Amino acid sequence: MKLVPFAIGAVAAVGLAASASAQTFGIGSTKAGAVSQITATISKAVSEHAKGVQMRKQTMGGTQQYIPVVNAGELGFGISNISQYHMAQQGIALSKGNKYDNLRLITTMMKFTVSPVVPLNSGITKTSQLKGKRTPTGFKGAPLFVHIFGGSLATADLTFKDIKSVPMVGLVQHWRAFMAGKIDWAIAAAGSGFVKQMNAKIKGGIRHISFPKGSKSLAAMQKWFPKSEWEVVQPSKGLTGVIEPTNFVSYDFLLWTHKGLSNDVAYKVAKVMHEQVKQLKEGGPLWRSYKANKRLAKDQGYAYHPGAVKYYKEVGLWSR
């Protein structure tokens, strides 16, 4: 009987030793919102399935705050949309004057699709009708959205001079202002929880409106929001406000690191992102478009970490 406590103690000791020997890496995150949800899901999957690697969320004020920290090798990982990553690599727009070219890709993850949302009874059906409307501006807490709103207006040859400016700080504030009738339109993702709230709160409901199709309007959007694409979203169950085939702007979300990360760790993280797709998708609807195929190694015009490349080549996902 005395062997039992000893055995339990031995097992516990082995577990503690294994935990102590694991390397712990931070992943840049935000306090709430999509980035927080995505990084929580990645951290859990990596910590559970990458041998010898633990990942922990490192909460900061926004993506622009952790980009330079990862670039300097002081934080292991970060996530962002492709537009913000491109700005960081090129030292333009939100990263103007600072090139963060030590960053290296690990995985191309899900796609986000967003478009303007308006009250259904407003009569607005196209972006040219946003002229003169009360529009959220500023976005000190979410500066990327200045670019999304600027690009949205540009697709109809409009600028911020053509609208009535209503200063906002963050995304959630502008969604709530829209529901309260303080602004005339908002930007939101297809099928998001806030769109469902808007539809329930606003009399008559809401609808997404299309961006103008074609290369000219896409070029206007990309001037503000680089590397974005058009994607027509079809009406379907769960996509509140998509009442007809609607042209959204689409952009990839990326997991990235710095060039100083070991090949071994990058390999293990890429492997988790490929093999643990079921667990990742259980992280919520944000993962709906995530696919464990060649998209993981999609050519974004920027280098992937050599450790990730090694893994993708081994499993046949690297095609260049």
Higher pLDDT, 297 or 34: 297
Lowest-pLDDT range of 101-105, 188-192, 268-272: 188-192
Residues 245 and 151 in one domain: yes
Residues 152 and 266 in one domain: no
pLDDT at 288 exceeding the cut of 70: yes
Residues 173 and 45 in one domain: no
Higher pLDDT, 294 or 31: 294
pLDDT at 1 exceeding the cut of 70: no
Domain boundary among 230, 250, 270: 250
Confidence of residue 215 (pLDDT cuts 50, 70, 90): very high
Domain boundary among 200, 231, 250: 250
In a domain, 6, yes or no: no
User: What percentage of the chain reaches a pLDDT higher than 90?
Assistant: 84
Range of the domain at 141: 113-250
pLDDT in tens, 134-182: 999 999 888 999 999 999 999 999 999 999 999 999 888 999 999 999 9
The mean per-residue pLDDT over the stretch 273-283 comes to 97
Provide the pLDDT for residue 16: 44
Domain boundary among 210, 233, 250: 250
Write out the chain in H/E/C secondary structure.
CCHHHHHHHHHHHHHHHHHHHCEEEEEEECCCHHHHHHHHHHHHHHHHHCCCEEEEEEECCCHHHHHHHHHCCCCCEEEEEHHHHHHHHHCCHHHCCCCCCCEEEEEEEEEEEEEEEEEHHHCCCEHHHHCCCEEEEECCCCCHHHHHHHHHHHCCCCCHHHCEEEEECCHHHHHHHHHCCCCCCEEEECCCHHHHHHHHHCCCCEEECECCCCHHHHHHHHHHCCCCEEEEECCCCCCCCCCCCEEEEEEEEEEEEECCCCHHHHHHHHHHHHHCHHHHHCCCHHHCCCCCCHHHHCCCCCCECHHHHHHHHHCCCCCC
Residues 240 and 172 in one domain: yes
pLDDT at 289 exceeding the cut of 70: yes
